[in-house]
Amino acid sequence: MRDGRARPGHFACNGPNPMPSLGPKPMLIVFAGLPGVGKTALARALAGRIGAVHLRIDSIEQAIRAAMPPDREMDDTGYRVARAVAADNLRLGHTVIADAVNPIAAVRTAWRAVAQSIPVAAFEIEVTCSDTGEHRRRIETRTRDIPGLPLPTWDDICDQVRGGGYEPWDRERLVVDTFRRSVDENVDAIRAALTGG
Check residue 148 and give its pLDDT.
80
The model's pLDDT over 106-164, given as tens digits with 9 standing for 90+, comes to 999 999 999 999 999 999 999 999 999 999 999 999 988 888 888 999 999 999 999 99
Please report which confidence band the pLDDT of residue 3 belongs to, taking 50, 70 and 90 as the band edges: very low
What percentage of the chain reaches a pLDDT higher than 70?
A: 87
Region of 173 (left: φ > 0; alpha: ψ -120 to 50; beta: rest) is: beta
pLDDT at 6 exceeding the cut of 50? no
Residue 18 maps to a domain: no
Mean pLDDT, range 70-99, rounded to an integer: 92
Give the model's confidence band at 10: pLDDT under 50 very low, under 70 low, under 90 confident, else very high. Answer: very low
Q: Tell me, what's the pLDDT at 65?
A: 87
First to last CA, the chain: 49
In a domain, 171, yes or no: yes
Structurally, the chain folds into a number of domains equal to 1
At 40, the amino acid letter reads T
Whole domain around residue 104: which residue ranges?
27-195
Residue 15 lies in a domain: no
In whole angstroms, give the CA distance from residue 64 to residue 20: 36
pLDDT at position 23: 52
**pTM of the predicted model as reported, rounded to 2 decimal places:** 0.85
69 lies in some domain:
yes
Angle between helices 183-195 and 39-50 (to 10 degrees): 60
CA angle 58, 63, 64 (to 5 degrees): 100
* 114 assigned to some structural domain: yes
Least confident of 64-68, 79-83, 112-116: 64-68
Q: How many other CB atoms sit within 10 Å of the CB of residue 158? A: 15
Across the strands, what pairs with 84? none
Q: Would you say residue 7 lies in a domain?
A: no
Q: What is the pLDDT of residue 197?
A: 65
Alpha-carbon distance 47 to 69, whole Å?
Answer: 33
Give the closest residue to 191 by CA, choosing from 123, 137, 110. 123
What's the rounded Cα separation, in Å, for the pair 98 and 30? Answer: 5
| CA geometry: angle 149, 128, 110, nearest 5 deg | 70
pLDDT at 22: 41
In a domain, 19, yes or no: no
Q: Point out the least confidently predicted range of 5-9, 30-34, 81-85.
A: 5-9
Domain-located, residue 90:
yes
Please report, for the domain that includes residue 170, its CATH number: 3.40.50.300
